[in-house]
Amino acid sequence: MNHSRVGIVGAGINGVMAAWALIEQGYSVSLFEAQRPMHATSRASSKMLHGGLRYLEQAQFGMVREALLERRWWLSQQTGLAAPLQLFIPYYRQSGRSPWLIRAGTMLYDLLALGSNMPLSRKHDPSQIMQAIPGLRSEGLVGAISYWDAAMDDEALGLWALARTQERGLALHTGCAVSRVYEDGGIETDRGIDHFDGVVNAAGPWSLELLDRSELHSPYQLLQLRGSHLVVDRPLRAGCLFQQQDGRVVFYLPYKGCALLGTTEVPATSTDPSDAVKPAQAEIDELIEIHNRYISPRIETREIIQTMAGLRPLVVDRSESMQHTRTISRESVLLTHGNIVTLLGGKWTTARKQGKQIAHRLSGILAKS
- Amino acid identity of residue 121, one-letter, is S
Q: What is the pTM of this model?
A: 0.94
Query: Mean pLDDT for each 10-residue chunk of the chain (369 residues)?
Result: 89 98 98 96 95 90 95 96 97 84 96 94 96 95 97 98 98 97 97 97 96 97 94 94 87 96 88 73 96 94 93 85 54 95 96 98 94
Domain ranges for the chain, please list them: 5-42+155-219+333-368, 50-150, 221-317
If DSSP codes are grouped into helix, strand and coil, which group holds residue 153?
Answer: coil
User: What is the pLDDT, as a whole number, of residue 96?
Assistant: 72
Element (H, E) at 313: strand 304-317
- 221-317 fold: D-Amino Acid Oxidase; Chain A, domain 2 (3.30.9)
Determine the Cα–Cα distance for residues 52 and 64; give it in Å rounded to an integer.
6
Determine the Cα–Cα distance for residues 155 and 41; give it in Å rounded to an integer.
10
CATH architecture of 5-42+155-219+333-368: 3-Layer(bba) Sandwich (3.50)
Determine the Cα–Cα distance for residues 22 and 318; give it in Å rounded to an integer.
31
User: What is the pLDDT, as a whole number, of residue 268?
Assistant: 87
CA atoms 302, 304, 310, 316: torsion sign: negative
Fold matches, 5-42+155-219+333-368 and 221-317? no
Backbone Cα Rg of the chain: 21
If DSSP codes are grouped into helix, strand and coil, which group holds residue 366?
Answer: helix
Strands 141-152 and 186-189: unpaired
If DSSP codes are grouped into helix, strand and coil, which group holds residue 84?
Answer: strand
Close Cβ partners of 281 (under 8 Å, ≥ 6 residues apart): none
User: What is the pLDDT, as a whole number, of residue 291?
Assistant: 96
